[in-house]
Chains A and B, each alone.
Chain A
Amino acid sequence: MPKDSGIGASSKRREDVRFLTGAGNYTDDINVHGQAYVHFLRSDIAHGRINNIDTSAAEGMPGVVKVFTGKDFEGVGGMPCGWEVTDKHGAPMQEPPHPILAQGKVRHVGDPIAAVVADSLEQARDAAEAIEVDIEELTPVLDMKAAAQDGATLVHDDLKNNICYDWQLGEADDAKVDEVFANAAHVTTLDLINNRLVANPMEPRVAVAEYSRGTDEYTLYTTSQNPHVIRLLMCAFVLGLPEHKVRVVAPDVGGGFGTKIFHYAEEAFCTFAAKACNRPVKWTASRSEAFMSDAQGRDHVSTIELALDADNNFVGLRTNTYANLGAYLSTFSSSVPTWLHGTLMAGNYKTPVIQVNVKAMFTNTVPVDAYRGAGRPEATFQLERVIDKAARELGVDPIALRRQNFITQFPYDTPVALTYDTGDYNGTMDKLEAAADLAGFAARRAESEAKGKLRGLGVNCYIEACGIAPSNIVGMLGARAGLYDAATVRVNATGSISVMVGAHSHGQGHETAFPQVVADMIGIDESMVEIVHGDTSKIPFGMGTYGSRSLAVCGSAMVKATEKVIDKAKKIAAHLLEASEADIELKDGQFSVAGTDKSVAWGDVTLTAYVPHNFPLEVEPGLEETAFYDPANFTFPAGAYACEVEVDPETGQVSIEAFTAADDFGNIVNPMIVDGQVHGGIGQGIGQALLENCAYDENGQLLSASFMDYAMPRADDVPFYGVDHSSQTPCTHNPLGVKGCGEAGAIGSPPAVVNAVLDALNSGGRAVDHIDMPVSPSRVWAAMNG
C-alpha cells in the first residue's frame, strides 16, 4: 500500500506552489539599493593576441562608473580548478591560468575582455561599444586530434602542448591488453562522438554583489548549486578574502544540471567590483551570453574496442578518448573525463581486463565541465553502443548478451577502481522486459511496417557512481576538496523543526523530500519540518548538489543529526516520565515508557528543552544538533532502459513511440519526485540523442548560438514514459539505503535511443553500424542512402 506521508509517500512538492504562482525569489529578482549594472565585452573571435584595449572613450560615456580590463586583475588570483589529475606518467596535469578578464590573449568566442559598470545596463552596453580593442587573430585550435600533434598552435603559450593530461585507468600493461585482444574470438570496434551540449537551464546565470564599507563584509547572491563551494573558492583562491566576511546566497535557482556548480569569473568580478566601485553590482546573463559563457558538456571523441571469447563472454575492453576541456579549466572539468568516466567503463559487466585512455585537450572553445551525468553518460554510451554492435555482428540477442555478462556477485571490485556494493541487474532487466512489454515488440513492429514506417527497439543498461563522494578516496584521486555534507536540525520550542542543509535544491524537490525523512523518524506531520538551504550565513557547511548526492550524502547527515536530536529528546522525556532513558520509545510523536501507558508528547519535550524548569541537570537546554556525514563508498544506481522508435524512411524523421525505464535506486523516499527526476533526465538524454548539438565552425564561431539553431527538446519530442523503480537493492552503507536518482535518465537514455534507431534501420535490410548524435533526420537519411 502506498503511504500517505513520511518515507515512501508521494507527497506533493510544496515548493511548486511558489514556483507556479510566480512567488519564487530568483537571483534576478534581487535588487539592491543603489546597484549598478555590469556588461561584459566578450571576444567575438576564438583565438587572438590582445595588442591594446583603449577604454578612454568608454570611461567618459554617460552613466559609466568604471571600466575594467584584465590589467585591473593582475594582482588577483585566477579561476581555480578543484581537481588535480595525475597523468599516466605520474606528472600533474597542465594547469594554465584562467584570469577573470582576458590577459594577453582571448581564447574562445565569449571570453570576457573588459567589463563596464554603469548606472544602467543600456549605458553599460553603449560604453562597451566604445571600447577599442586591437586583437591580432591567431589560428584557432578546434580539432582535438590535430591539437594533440607536435607543433600544433598552442591555446596557452606557456604550456608545452595542448594536452592537459594523458591519463590511463585499469590495466597498465599494454602488452597484456594486446594479448587479450589477439586471443579474442571476436573483437568489435566502434568510433563515436559524444556530442557537445549546452545545459540551458531555464534561468540564465545572475550575480548580484554588495559590499559594506561599515563592516567590510560582502554579500554575493548568485545562481549556484553550492554556495559554500563558491565562497571557499572565491575567498581562498581568487580574491583573497576572509570567509567570515563573505556571505554567499543562492536563492531559488531555476535549474542547474551541473552548469551552476562551477565558480565563474562573473561572480568574482561582481564581488571585486562592488568594493572597487563602492556600489552594489548586478549582472544578468542574456541567453546569447549563456551560450558562450556557461560551461558546456560532453564533447568526447572515442574509439572503443570490445573483445569476446568464443562463448561471447566479454574478455577485454579498451577505450581511447579525446576529451575537450575548452579554453580553460572550469572548476571540476578535469575530473569529468577521468574519475567520473573511466571508472564507469566496467558498466554492469564482469569484463576482467579494461584499459581506459583519455587525452584531455585545450581548444579555443567555451570551457567544458560537468553536465547532468558528467562522464558517466559518455562511458555508458560507448559501452552500450559497442555491446549492441557486437550483438549485431555476432547475430545474438543483445539482451541475452548483456545478461550473460552481468555482474551477479556483490560486492564486486571492478578493474577500474570501484567497488559496487550491491545490485541485481538480472532482476532489473526482468522488470524492464515486463514493464516495456518487450514480448509484444514484434507485433508493434508489424503494425508500424504496415504504415510504411520502420520500427526499432533499443535496450541498454547503465550504472553510475553517485553519492559523491568518500573524501579519503577522492582525495587520493586528486580532489582538492572533501565531498562530505552537513545538516543542522534545529527544533523550535513548540516542536516545529528547521533543517539547515548543505544540499541546494534547484528542482530536485528537497523541500518536500527531506522533511518526509525527519517527520517520519519522529512521527510528526511533514508540515512541521522546513528545509533551509542556499545561504552560507544560515547553514553550517555544504558541498552542494550534484552527482545525485543530496539525499545519499546530505540526507545521511540529516538523519544523523535527527538521531542526535532524538537521543537528547529521549533524555528529556525520561526525566519528565521519571523513567530510565533506555526504556523510552518514540513513536508517532509520542515518547512512552516501554510496557506502560505513560507517555509525553513531542511538543511537550521540545517545550521543556527551551523552558527547562523541570529538566535533567546533566543535559544542556535547547534542542539543536549538527552532523557531518562523509560516505564510506559511492552509491551505484543501475538500470535497464528500452526505447522504441519509428523511423520515416522517406525523411529520416525519428519519433519515439515508447520509452521505459527500470531503475534500481535502492530505497525511495518520494516515488513521485523520483518519477519526475527520471522523466527529466530521459528528456535531456533524448535531447542529446536526437536534437541537441553545440557546433563550432572552422573559425571557432558557435553555429548553434541561440534556440534558433540549438534544438532543445520540447514536450512533443518526448513520449509518455514508463517508469518502474520496484527493483530495489538498498545501498549498504548509508542510513537511508538510498542511491540517488537525479542523473540516471540522462545517463541511461542516449544509447537506448541510438540503439533503437539502428535496430529500425537494420530491420529494413540496411546495414548501418552507427550514426553520431544527434541522430537528426538529415543524418538518418544520409545513413540510409549512404
Chain B
Amino acid sequence: MYSFEFEKPSTIADAVAALGGEDAQALGGGQTLIPTLKQRLAAPTKLVSVSGIAEMKGVCVEDDGSVAIGGATTHATVAREAAGSYPALAALAGQIGDPAVRNRGTIGGSIANNDPAACYPAAVLGSGATIVTNARQIAADDFFEGMFGTALDEGEIITSVRFPVPQAASYQKFLQPASRFALVGAYVARFASGVRVAITGASEDGVFRWSEAEAALDKEFRPDALMGLKINPMNMIGDLHGSKDYRAHLVSVMTKRAVEACM
C-alpha cells in the first residue's frame, strides 16, 4: 500500500476536523478499504479511524422503541446485542462474512461503502431506517444512490443508524459461492403502516425496494401473495455466478422465503 497519515480521534468533532483535509478518508473496520489499499487501488493521504469514538459504538433502544446502532459498531456486536430488540437485524449481522470480518467490520462502514452485494443496505432500506450523520439525518430511501454511491458528502460520518422495529421481519440470503456475499438477498419487514421489501445483490443499481412485492404483501401478507410476481431481469447483474434471469428468479424465491420466515 502507499503511505498515508493515520489519525484515531476519540470524538466525532475531532474526526470531522481530521477529515477536512484533501483526500482524507474515514476508516471503519477496514474490511473493504484495507484490501483495496493493499492492492494499491486507492491512495488516500490520510485515514481517520472512527473505531476509537466511544459515542459511535453500541446498540440501544430509544424511547420511541427504535433501535439505534452506533456507526462504528461491529457486526458481531449487533448480532449479540440486537438479538432481543430486533432479531431479524441481529440475524443478518450474524451472517455477514466470517467471524474475523464480523469482529472488525462496522455498520457505518458497510453502509457508506454501499457494496451492491452487501447485506446491511437491505436491512437499512427494508426497515426504513434513518442514517444519522455528524451533520444531518437521512432517510434510507434517500441515502442509497446506486452501486457504491450514497448521499454522504465528503468528510461526512455516519454516527448512528436508527431502525424502527417491525412487527415481523426476515432476511434471506442466497450466497454467492466464492465471496459468500449475497448473490441475492431479500429483506422483508412488516410494519403496521405497510410492508417494505428491499433487495440486495441483484441489481446493477445496488440495493432497491421491490415496490410490486410490497403492494402485493400489503394486500395479503402471505407467501402466495407473491405468486406470479416477477422482476424485470434487464437491470439485474449478470456475471460468472449467475445470469440476469437467474438473479431475477432468485429475487422472487428469496422474497417468498423471507415472507415464510415472518409467518
Contact = CB atoms under 8 A, between A and B. Distances in A.
Contact of B40 (A125, A693, A709, A778): A125
B240 A288 contact: no
B40 A776 contact: no
B241 A776 contact: yes
Contact of B179 (A651, A695, A707, A776): A707
Interface string A748-786: 000000000000000000000000000011100110010
Contact of B177 (A703, A776, A785): A776
B174 interface: yes
A239 interface: no
Given A125-B40, A651-B174, A651-B250, A709 B242 contact: no
B210 interface: no
Nearest to A774: B177
Interface in A616-662: 650-653
A44 to B, nearest CB: 13
B104 interface: no
Interface in A687-738: 690-691, 693, 695, 703-704, 707-712
Interface string B21-56: 000000000000000000110000000000000000
A362 B183 CA distance: 35
A651 B243 contact: no
B178 A708 contact: yes
A438 B155 CA distance: 64
Contacts of B183: 777
A61 to B, nearest CB: 14
B240 A704 contact: yes
Contacts of B242: 776-778
B17 to A, nearest CB: 30
A650 B174 CA distance: 12
Contacts of B253: 650-651
A580 to B, nearest CB: 69
Interface string B226-263: 00000000000001111101100110010000000000
A693 B240 contact: yes
Contacts of A653: 174
A782 B246 contact: yes
Contact of A703 (B181, B240, B246, B249): B240
A782 B178 contact: no
A690 B175 CA distance: 14
A776 B250 CA distance: 14
Chain A CB within 10 Å — which of B178, B181, B241 has the most?
Answer: B178
A709 B243 contact: no
Interface in A353-368: none
B249 to A, nearest CB: 7
B243 A691 contact: no
Interface string A94-130: 0000000000000000000000000000000100010
Given A288-B39, A695-B240, A703-B240, A778 B178 contact: no
Contacts of B245: 782
B177 A691 contact: yes
Contact of A781 (B179, B181, B240, B249): B249
Nearest to A691: B177
A782 B242 CA distance: 10
Nearest to A288: B39
B246 A778 contact: yes
Given A651-B250, A778-B246, A781-B246, A707 B240 contact: no
A120 B39 CA distance: 17
Contacts of A695: 240
A781 B183 CA distance: 14
Nearest to A714: B180
Nearest to B238: A778
Interface string B90-130: 00000000000000000000000000000000000000000
A671 B96 CA distance: 39
Chain B CB within 10 Å — which of A707, A778, A782 has the most?
Answer: A778
A757 to B, nearest CB: 15
B238 to A, nearest CB: 10
B240 A708 contact: no
A785 B233 CA distance: 15
A704 B176 CA distance: 13
Nearest to B178: A711
Interface of A: 125, 129, 288, 650-653, 690-691, 693, 695, 703-704, 707-712, 776-778, 781-782, 785
17 contacts: A651-B174, A651-B250, A651-B253, A691-B177, A693-B240, A695-B240, A703-B239, A703-B240, A708-B178, A709-B178, A709-B179, A709-B240, A709-B241, A776-B241, A777-B174, A778-B242, A781-B249
Q: Which 8 A-B pairs have the closest CB atoms?
A: A711-B178, A778-B242, A711-B177, A708-B179, A778-B246, A650-B253, A709-B178, A703-B240
Interface of B: 39-40, 174, 177-179, 181, 183, 239-243, 245-246, 249-250, 253
Given A707-B178, A709-B240, A778-B246, 10 more contacts: A651-B250, A652-B246, A693-B240, A703-B239, A709-B178, A709-B241, A711-B177, A711-B178, A777-B242, A782-B243
